Chains A and B, each alone.
Chain A
Amino acid sequence: MGVADLLSPQRIELNLSLQDKQAVLERLVELESRGDAIIDLEAFRRDMMAREAQGGTAVEAGIAVPHAKSSAVRYPSLAVVTLKKGIDCGALDGVPSDLFFMIAVPADAELHMAVLARLTTLLMEPEFLQQLRKAATPEEFLHLVDEFEQRLPQLDSKWQEAPTATVLAVTACPTGIAHTYMAADALERAGQHLGVTVKVETQGAGGTKNKLTPQEIRQCTAVIIAAGREVDMSRFQGIKVLRVSVNEGIYRAEELVQRAASGDAPVYGGVDLPREVERIGVRSYRQLMNGVSHMLPFVIGGGILTALAFLLDDMSLGYAHFGSNTPVSAWLRAIGQAALGFMLPILAGFTSVAIADRPGMMVGFVGGALAASGATLAAPEGSGAPAGFLGAMIAGFAGGYLMVGLKKLLDRLPGTIEGIKSILLYPVAGLLMVGLFMCLINPFVGALNSALYGSLQVLGPQSRIVLGALLAGMMSIDMGGPFNKAAYLFGTSTLAALATGQESDVMAAVMIGGMVPPLVIALATTFCKSCFTPEERKSGAVNYILGLCFVTEGAVPFAASDPLRVLPACILGSAVAGGLSMLFGCAVPAPHGGIFLCPVMINPGGYLAALAAGSLAGMLLLAVLKKNRTILREH
């Protein structure tokens, strides 16, 4: 091991006719790209030119050694250019330079010195220089270097260990706002401290930054995945991977980097091979959170535009289409609803991706879309009874595990058809399977929906207060599923039975039931901070607006990530509000619009009081339920 090992005939060009130093440097940088020592050629070129600008690198006796310590370099590499006729590069002894050795080394001072010293030791031999200048071919040149180097004592310096350890990392947390970046910082700092090159890809809410390239992945020592949700693992096949939580990435960064740099990590071999032992609950939560975190922007963007549509609409144009009377509000509402329409496919799709990696994506998306349309075998276009977010959660898990099963099944097929698996078999078989599955589930949802609607109609003149509480509570049970839709349909039917502009107290109770859940979330994230992660708290504030505008969807990401606590609280809050709304005799003339209906409703004061009371009741229950939440938190 020595200088000769850092060279390659590809990176030697002899007897060129170049006119100035800049041309030589450009040529050398180009040569350095022939090999895989340079991670980022542009960055390396910049570092090289920056070094050159600090002072010439011509040495003496016609030798110049342009060099750069650069983080864009993976391990030491040399490139050589010799010129027919030397050019003046400002050498101290005034001799024109004709022998250029470019040194590329990682950002490691000791290593740089070791390479520089070894190379210059060789170059001190006048006989060696003389022969080098006579070399006719790159092979001959390299052979000379090797031959003369044999005469030197063996090296024992650290660069024999090159290539140096390079550790890659991917960080991701469910919401992608804070922890992703904290972990990235911690890992990079640990790398600097330990003298290990660390590159971190962050998969945050704003997208992926500092993406790892396939080449980097191929050549790294190990990859650290510090994630609170699933990340696409398919590109790490055959690479040593350490999988930990985001928190470990933050608090145990040095230990992780050290372990990764020493290569102490299992080789990743696909979804079915051993990963960290993880409780099923924790794993399912992480998979689900992958869906929820991707769904959030759709809910917030779509919800706020829908709210704006009501704000900017002109109520005097009619109640029936309130929210889309004017062209502006109609437009806002349309694109808002378009975004909200993606909620369920995104939730199911990314849950499924978390389970089955990329092959799971298509089946998850389609499963979610089928949950939203309520398609059945008899009514493939959609039954009018959507399965809601709970259905989409089922679709996501079902899609993911169907694909995992399918992959296992197809593993037995001969290797020759490996190529068509992912482009033909997975999509086609997966689509058929998830389509069948959802169409077999949806009829039950539809039947439940019809049964609920039917029983509401025959409920007869019960106590109005009980009816109001029941309908409002149903709005919260599944926030878009069969219960919600049955209640809403019942509400609008009472409205339709009245003359236009007449107020319905049932509709008022139904609407308030859909307004409470986001408000419960918003209040809880404000007044019960310890129950939520910082990211949840940030997105919670938006729910004030969404709740007041009757955009129930705002609560869905929270409900999906912790249904057993959030749903009971929301149901209670809605029921309280719905009962009170009836008690106060509130009534509305339109099926949507939230508080914007206040000017035209009966007893708006009572309505607001009912809304506040229900939201507070829900918040209190949520605070109590969440108090004992011990697992599945980012902290």
Chain B
Amino acid sequence: MVCAKTTVLHESGLHMRPAQEFVSAVANYPCKVVIKVGENCVNGKSILSVMAAGIQKGTPIEICCEGPQEQEALVAALEVLAKV
């Protein structure tokens, strides 16, 4: 498993559009993608779960990928989050 910490920079948090972008960026990797927000772990491949986490701007999060191509998936996830 690989993990990386980052911060949500989107002006309105991870609302629908950023959530869609995030999920489509990681959806094609076979590994599991999890976003840790505080105590919560949400499924990074489900738009619903990402939105349900209600992650506001400035929130520190940790992204963990586990399984085949976990490295690439993590890079893709960080890239899409950095692209505001």
Confirm or deny: A113 has a beta carbon within 8 angstroms of a beta carbon on chain B. yes
Confirm or deny: B53 has a beta carbon within 8 angstroms of a beta carbon on chain A. yes
Contacting pair A124 B56 (CB below 8 A): no
Confirm or deny: B7 has a beta carbon within 8 angstroms of a beta carbon on chain A. no
Contacting pair B24 A92 (CB below 8 A): yes
Chain A residues with CB under 8 Å of B23's CB are: 92
Confirm or deny: B3 has a beta carbon within 8 angstroms of a beta carbon on chain A. no
Binary contact readout B38-57 vs A (1 if CB under 8 angstroms, 0 otherwise)? 00000000111101111111
Contacting pair A120 B12 (CB below 8 A): no
Q: Which residue of A lies closest to B53 (CB)?
A: A117
Q: Which of A107-122 touch B at CB < 8 Å?
A: 109-110, 112-114, 116-118, 120-121
- Cα(A114)–Cα(B27), bound, Å: 25
In the complex, identify which listed stretch (B14-22, B61-69, B70-78) lies at the interface while the others stay far away. Answer: B14-22
Number of chain A residues whose Cβ lies closer than 8 Å to a Cβ of chain B: 23
Q: Which residue of B lies closest to A114 (CB)?
A: B54
Chain A residues with CB under 8 Å of B16's CB are: 57, 59, 65, 67, 116
Confirm or deny: A40 has a beta carbon within 8 angstroms of a beta carbon on chain B. no
Shortest C-beta distance, B59 to chain A (Å), equals: 10
Number of chain B residues whose Cβ lies closer than 8 Å to a Cβ of chain A: 21
Chain B residues with CB under 8 Å of A59's CB are: 16, 20, 47-48, 51
Contacting pair B17 A121 (CB below 8 A): no
State whether A92 and B20 are in contact (beta carbons under 8 Å apart), knowing that A116-B51, A124-B46 are contacts in the complex: yes
Contacting pair B47 A124 (CB below 8 A): no
Confirm or deny: A123 has a beta carbon within 8 angstroms of a beta carbon on chain B. yes
State whether A113 and B56 are in contact (beta carbons under 8 Å apart), knowing that A65-B16, A92-B27 are contacts in the complex: yes
Shortest C-beta distance, A149 to chain B (Å), equals: 13
State whether A120 and B48 are in contact (beta carbons under 8 Å apart), knowing that A55-B17, A113-B56 are contacts in the complex: yes
State whether A117 and B12 are in contact (beta carbons under 8 Å apart), knowing that A60-B46, A92-B24, A92-B27 are contacts in the complex: no
State whether A117 and B54 are in contact (beta carbons under 8 Å apart), knowing that A57-B16, A67-B16, A92-B24 are contacts in the complex: yes
Confirm or deny: A239 has a beta carbon within 8 angstroms of a beta carbon on chain B. no
Chain A residues with CB under 8 Å of B12's CB are: 109, 112-113
Contacting pair A54 B52 (CB below 8 A): no
Partner of A123 from the list B24, B48, B53 (CB cut-off 8 Å) is: B48
Partner of B52 from the list A57, A61, A110, A124 (CB cut-off 8 Å) is: A124
Confirm or deny: A63 has a beta carbon within 8 angstroms of a beta carbon on chain B. yes
Contacting pair A61 B48 (CB below 8 A): yes
Binary contact readout A117-139 vs B (1 if CB under 8 angstroms, 0 otherwise)? 11011011000000000000000
Q: Which of A578-635 touch B at CB < 8 Å?
A: none
Q: Which residue of A lies closest to B51 (CB)?
A: A120
Chain B residues with CB under 8 Å of A117's CB are: 51-54
- Cα(A123)–Cα(B13), bound, Å: 20
Contacting pair B15 A112 (CB below 8 A): yes
Partner of A60 from the list B15, B17, B47, B54 (CB cut-off 8 Å) is: B47
Interface core residue of A61, A117, A121 (most chain B CB under 10 Å): A117
Chain B residues with CB under 8 Å of A110's CB are: 13, 56
Contacting pair A109 B48 (CB below 8 A): no
Q: Which of A55-93 touch B at CB < 8 Å?
A: 55, 57, 59-61, 63, 65, 67, 92
Chain B residues with CB under 8 Å of A63's CB are: 48
State whether A54 and B48 are in contact (beta carbons under 8 Å apart), knowing that A109-B12, A112-B12, A113-B12 are contacts in the complex: no
Shortest C-beta distance, A77 to chain B (Å), equals: 17
Q: Which residue of A lies closest to B23 (CB)?
A: A92
- Cα(A510)–Cα(B11), bound, Å: 73
Q: Beyond A54-B17, A92-B23, A117-B52: 4 further Cβ-contacts under 8 Å? A: A60-B47, A114-B54, A120-B49, A124-B49
Q: Which 9 A-B pairs have the closest CB atoms?
A: A117-B54, A109-B12, A121-B52, A120-B52, A120-B51, A113-B13, A59-B47, A120-B48, A124-B48
A-B contact pairs, 16 of them (CB 8 A): A54-B17, A60-B46, A60-B47, A60-B48, A92-B27, A109-B11, A109-B13, A109-B15, A112-B12, A113-B55, A113-B56, A116-B51, A117-B53, A118-B54, A124-B46, A124-B49
